[in-house]
Amino acid sequence: MLQIHELTFSYLPEQPLFDRFSLEARKGERVCLKGASGKGKTTLLRLIAGLETPNGGAITLPPDCKTAMVFQEDRLLPWLTAKGNVSLCSSDAAAEDWLCAFGLEDELDAYPSTLSGGMCRRVALARACAVAPDLLLLDEAFKGIDPQRKEAIMTLLQERFQNSLILFTSHDDAEIAAFATRIVEI
């Protein structure tokens, strides 16, 4: 499903971040990109999402691949409610479904500024899930969510995205152990 072939990328010419990096991943996998800060985990997700252009090599995805991403920041529109933010990218029904699944049934009409950090994170997750993506990119997506809730969300993602590819970054070893099917060191 995802093929990265000899990827080369650098923000500064003298500091290459990726030098002939290759990776293949299939549907149903949950791949954790692991590495120290500044090694390029977020950059790799951005490259896959098409937000950065590689200097060399190729990133190949199926032509009709539906991609969704949870960024390190929530990136919610402050002038839209939780439901408004999620339904921006999907149908109203899917938005409500995912928000309720993430325990936000009482917050459908709440604005991001009235929600806690963990709640905003769940709204951002719901937005990504509601588009029913083939490729789900999660950049420290579970940060700030309480442990019990995090576990429930990870179980739900495992159940509902068995036919999708999930690529995620995390600094939490327990989270990686519970969620990843494969770990890729960067």
Partner 1 sequence: MARNERLKNSLKTLAAAAFWLLVWQGLSLLVHKPLLLPSPVEAAKRLGALCVTGPFWTSIGLTLLRVTAGFCCGVVCGVLLGALTAKSKLMERLFAPLLAVVKATPVASFIILALVWLQKDLVPVFITFLIVLPVIWANVLEGIRQTDRGLLEMARVFRLPRRKVFSKVYAPSVLPYFAAGAATAMGLSWKAGVAAEVIAMSNSSVGYHLYRAKINLETPDLFAWTAVVVLLSVLLERLLRRVIRRMEGRKRDAANP
What separation, in Å, do the N-terminal and C-terminal C-alpha atoms of the chain show? 20
Strands 2-9, 56-60: pairing is antiparallel
- 1 vs 110, beta carbon nearer partner 1: 110
Q: Nearer to partner 1 by C-beta: 40 or 112?
A: 112
Nearer to partner 1, 59 or 69 (CB): 69
The minimum distance between CB 176 and partner 1, in angstroms, equals 23
Q: In this structure, what are the phi and psi dihedrals at residue 173, rounded to the nearest 5 degrees? A: -60, -40
Minimum Å gap between C-beta 111 and partner 1 is 4
Residues that bind partner 1 (CB under 8 A): 49-51, 67-69, 71, 73, 75, 77-81, 88-89, 111-114, 127, 131
Compute the least distance from the CB of residue 174 to partner 1, in Å. 28
Q: List, as one string, the DSSP characters of 88-151.
A: TTS-HHHHHHHHHHTT-GGGTT--GGGS-HHHHHHHHHHHHHHT--SEEEEESTTTTS-HHHHH
Shorter beta-carbon distance to partner 1: residue 81 or 170: 81
Residue written as token pair 């429930």: 152
Q: Which residues on neighbouring strands pair with residue 183, listed in sequence order? A: 32
> Least distance in Å: CB of 36 to partner 1?
24
Which one, 97 or 151, has the nearer CB to partner 1?
Answer: 97
For the bound state, the minimum distance from the C-beta of residue 138 to partner 1, rounded and expressed in Å, comes to 12
Sign, CA torsion 133/137/139/142: positive
CA 80 – CA 86 distance, rounded (Å): 9
